[in-house]
Structure 1
Amino acid sequence: MSPIPSLPSIPSRDDVLRMARSTTDITGQLLDTAGNITRIALNTFDPRDGSGAEALRVLRETTAELAEASASPQAQEAFYRIVDTLTRLGTTGVPLAVHPVSRPAQALLAALGDSLLPILDAVEPAVQEAADALGDLLEAGSPLLPAVAGVAAGALLALTPVIRAAADVLRDSSPELRRIADALTSALAPLLPLQVALAERAAAAGVGVVRAALPPLADLTEAAAATTGAVRPVLIAGEEFLVSGLEHLQPLLLASASRTGRVARAVAVRVSAAVSPTAERGLVVAVTPT
């Protein structure tokens, strides 16, 4: 005889009231949200104040301009190029991602990521400080950026013919390049197993050397740290002496720079006067360096 299933407990009056109150609150919130959305839509597209007609006009003009721009031959060619590039990337990247050779690379990247996280956490404050200092430096040197950009653009324009000539030479010499590649492949292919065996032997020897050298290196590092702690007052005194010497030399350096500038200006005046002797003769000012 099968057991009689137990009847579920009947909710109490307080539970029923709590569920009814919660349902009423949720329904009210939904109605308020729907009313707000309806009010926003009516205010946006209301034809009485012109905003709705204006929004529809702008939307219609924008849609027409987008359709016209996308229908141009240039846009269609750009779309075709984008699709072609994405297709080639997909057909090239998917086999590489599922190839067995990619598994060791993925494991290596995962191991590097796990080991680099503590290092990145440790150097984060220094990197942030260096980034802030570099930003200040770039902001201070911003007047030089247009000149640097102009020089870089000129250098690129000067290198463009050379690059094009090199590309033409390589394109015309493609059979010779293919012969060179085949010769290198046939010459290096037999050496690869020997190189792998030598690399394994070198790795084994290197592991032994590192294991033998780590304890003396640790002792040397501890001794160097103790020595540095002992001579730290001497280093601080030397740094203070150097900084004080630079502070005493600063006025002399500024005076020398100012005197050099005056001499350079005087020389420039004399050179310009000697180069253009046919200029209008006027008041001659003699510049004497002090």
Structure 2
Amino acid sequence: MSPIPSLPSREEVVRMARNTTDITGQLLDTAGNLTRIAVNTFDPRDGSGAEVLRVLRETTAELAEASASPQAQEAFYRIVETLTRLGTTGAPLAVHPVSEPAQALLTALGDSLLPVLDAVEPAVEEAAEALGELVEATSPLLPAAAGVAAGVLLAAAPLIRAAADVLRDSSPELQRMADALTAALAPLLPLQVALAERAAAAGVGVIRVTLPPLADLTEAGAAALKAGRPLLVAGEELVVSGLEHLQPVLLASASRAGRVARAVAVRVSAAVSPAAERGVVVAVHPA
């Protein structure tokens, strides 16, 4: 039997009561400070309270005016209509018999992917950070890219509208095509199912036979890679050192090419507009 716990002594009871009183006092002080801040903020005798109320009234009035405009009402109507369509379309899918195996498949995929996601999480975080730095570095190009994308979309909008009109006008022909394809493919489905079952059985046998040799080959490749790791490191070191030695040559070549291009540009501009400054001959010799 477990021993009966002893009752607290008088000193412990006094200490717990004192701690409880201190905590209650601190809570009351905090509540008093919050009340004082609220009273000082909304005090009509001070300028801050009236200013806060005035800003709230103006903001509420502007929001009411903006939401009462025809454009806002049309936008709200479109949002509600879109949500209604989504709900009407998605409700039959949720209770369809096909949804049960689909949900089971999603559950199995989720259970299988969780270890993979846990394993690749550090690499994904590192890649996301590097991608963020790349986007931040290329941020000056983003407005130009956005402008080009907007121009392409504007140029493609008439084509998309024309295609939609053509397809809308050709709905009987499209229905005939769909009926013809259905009538042609329906007799082939049982044959395809039988062939798929035979292919699956043959594939299972092939996989069972080839997995052990493949495992042996993988182990041998891993052992060879581990043994040749010094050679790989030496090769990487050689490539990096070669790039380091090649960098000054590339910089000098780029600088020389830039000087030659500037000299050619000056000569071409002087030949194209000789009447700009008569009597002045510009000669630039590449270093």
Q: TM-score range by the shorter chain?
A: 0.7 to 0.9
DSSP 3-state at the match of 2:168: helix
Q: Deviations over 1:5-32 (max 9, x none)?
A: xxxxxxx9x8x99999999889867866
Q: How many Å apart are 1:153 and its aligned residue? A: 2.8
Pick one of 60, 68, 74 that aligns with 1:63: 60
* 1:172 aligned onto 2:169: yes
Pick one of 107, 112, 125 that aligns with 1:115: 112
Q: 1:24 to 1:91 in 2, by over 3 A?
A: farther
Q: Deviations over 1:266-286 (max 9, x none)?
A: 222223333334433353221
8 A Cα contact 2:263 2:286, kept in partner: yes
Q: 1:148 to 1:175 in 2, by over 3 A?
A: same
Amino acid at match of 1:170: L
* 1:154 aligned onto 2:157: no
* 1:145 aligned onto 2:142: yes
* 1:194 aligned onto 2:161: no
* 1:281 aligned onto 2:278: yes
Residue in 2 that maps onto 1:225? 222
CA distance in 2, matches of 1:271, 1:237: 50
Q: 1:22 to 1:81 in 2, by over 3 A?
A: farther
Residue in 2 that maps onto 1:72? 69
RMSD: 3.0
Comparing 226-235 and 19-28, the one that deviates more: 19-28
* 1:208 aligned onto 2:205: yes
8 A Cα contact 2:267 2:282, kept in partner: no
Which runs of no fewer than 5 residues in structure 1 stay unpaired? 1-11
CA distance in 1, matches of 2:22, 2:234: 75
TM-score calculated relative to the size of structure 1: 0.83
CA distance in 1, matches of 2:228, 2:147: 51
Identity within the alignment, %: 84
Q: 1:24 to 1:260 in 2, by over 3 A?
A: closer
TM-score calculated relative to the size of structure 2: 0.84
8 A Cα contact 2:67 2:73, kept in partner: yes
Residue in 1 that maps onto 2:240? 243
Residue in 2 that maps onto 1:9? none
Which runs of no fewer than 5 residues in structure 2 stay unpaired? 1-7
Pick one of 80, 94, 113 that aligns with 1:83: 80
Q: Deviations over 1:125-150 (max 9, x none)?
A: 11111222222222222233233333
Residue in 1 that maps onto 2:46? 49
Pick one of 250, 253, 263 that aligns with 1:253: 250
Residue in 2 that maps onto 1:182? 179
Amino acid at match of 2:78: R
